[in-house]
Structures are given as C-alpha cells and as structure tokens.
Amino acid sequence: MKLIRTACRPDGILGTLYNDAGEQLAVTLEHSYDGRPKLKEGTYTCQRGPHRLHGMEKDFETFEILGVLGHTGILFHWGNYNEDSEGCVLLGRVSCDSPKGCMVTSSRATFARWMLDLDGVDSFMLIVEG
C-alpha cells in the first residue's frame, strides 16, 4: 500500500491511500504537529491486532504501523478531524473544509470497508511519501 500526502496544514495532514495496483482506497487525515506528522516518509510494516483508543471500553481490530521512530500505537482508524488523531491515520471518503478545519467524511464506513477488503491479511507493507 502507498500513502501519498497531498497537503500539510496546521489543521491536519491530508493524503490518499492506494493499493498495490494504484487504485485509491481512501483519503486520509493525520494530526498536524506544526504542519508535521508523527509518521515520517519511509516504508513500514503494518500488523493486524486488537487495539483500544482513548476512552473506548472495548478493543477493535485494526492495523498498527510499526517502526515509527519515537512512537508506538500509530494505527489506522476512523475519525473526522485533526483532534481525532494523535498521529494515527484516519480513513475517509472525501476530504473537505469545515468550520472546525479540514476533515474527512464517511470515516466509519470507509474504515469498515477497508478492513473487510483486508480480511485474512495479517500484515502488509506501507510506503509513505510526500
């Protein structure tokens, strides 16, 4: 998979996630730390497993991006705004501006579809560019 960033803004880092055939899977949003992401350009292994976001009572299944220098728990998950991520990659259908800043739409449905498409996959390689 490949994540290509399209904009680094104070209110979020936007990108597009592609499969190995070059087909768009989702738009992405990451938390912006003064216009910079936690996830730097490079190649990473992503591993399936149970995880729990802050404030959740139950684990959910997702992929963790491993080997992020100085950070653990960088996940793919749902969310709409910059503040919904602490460096994780939020998946959505469309990115747009809102009164709260940049956002992604249809995040829960996009995440659910992405996980369904990866049924039976335990790990994959992610290339991050831009």
State in Å, rounded, how far the first CA of the chain is from the last one: 14
Pairing of strands 74-77, 89-92: parallel
Segment 93-119 shows an average pLDDT of 95
Whether the full predicted model's pTM is greater than 0.85, yes or no, is yes
Residue pair 11/32 in contact by the 8 Å Cβ criterion: yes
Give 125's pLDDT tier (boundaries 50, 70, 90): very high
Q: pLDDT per residue over 49-100, tens digit each?
A: 999 988 889 999 999 999 999 999 999 999 999 999 999 999 999 998 998 8
